[in-house]
Amino acid sequence: MCALLATARSSLKSQRELALENLALRQQLAVLRRSTKRPKLIHADRAFWVALARLCPDWQHALILVKPETVIGWHRKGFKLYWTWKSRSRGGRARIDAEIRTLIRRMTRKNPTWGAPRIHGELLKLGFEVSEATVSGYMPVRRKPPFQSWRTFLRNHSQDLVSIDFFVVPTAKFRVRYVFLVLDHQR
């Protein structure tokens, strides 16, 4: 009965699907012939099933030796290995001399208002061929910014600051009053 249903189902498939199913079954027979007790799959077998899963929409029905979840796991593992290989480190530029690194740090310490462009320019004047990105990478991270904070600015300039606001107030009799407000921050 099962064979009759399988034959009926096969007659509805296209020539390409039948050829792929036949190829899948032959591959499984080859694995069984080369194994003694338990079927042993090699990398080529796994690659075959991953490729067949991509080509044939009905690949799960032709699979006998392993579960479909196993083939999907192989595909995911191959995908992960591919992207690990693709994003590997390929080296990079050679590091600059220790002398230049210490010079960059010393210039940053002695001149806290200088940034990477200024230090880069000074190094070029001294004859060191280093890019500005390299200089900024070797500059130590500052704990405090070289400029004053907003609070320091307000404390230093409070006697010179005024705040001004202009707004409209409607009255109870639906009239409009215009208000201009000036606040002195000196006190």
Instruction: Provide mean pLDDT across the span 164-170.
Output: 93
User: Is the pTM value of this prediction over 0.75?
Assistant: no
pLDDT of residue 8: 57
Cα angle 63, 69, 75 (rounded to 5 degrees) comes to 95
pLDDT of residue 32: 66
> Would residue 127 be called left, alpha or beta, if left means φ above 0 and alpha means ψ between -120 and 50 degrees?
left
pLDDT of residue 36: 63
* pLDDT tier, 101 (very low <50, low <70, confident <90, very high otherwise): very high
Q: How far apart are CA 52 and CA 21, in angstroms?
A: 9
pLDDT in tens, 15-40: 777 777 777 777 776 776 666 666 67
| CA dist 152 → 141, 142, 148 (Å) | 21, 18, 6
Do the Cβ atoms of 129 and 96 come closer than 8 Å? Answer: no
Higher pLDDT, 144 or 158: 158
Answer yes or no: is pLDDT of 9 > 70: no
- Return the top range by mean pLDDT from 63-72, 95-104, 153-162: 95-104
Q: How far apart are CA 16 and CA 183, in angstroms?
A: 85
In sequence order, what are the beta bridge partners of 171? none
Percent of the chain surpassing pLDDT 90: 22
pLDDT in tens, 114-156: 889 999 999 999 999 999 999 999 988 877 666 778 888 888 8
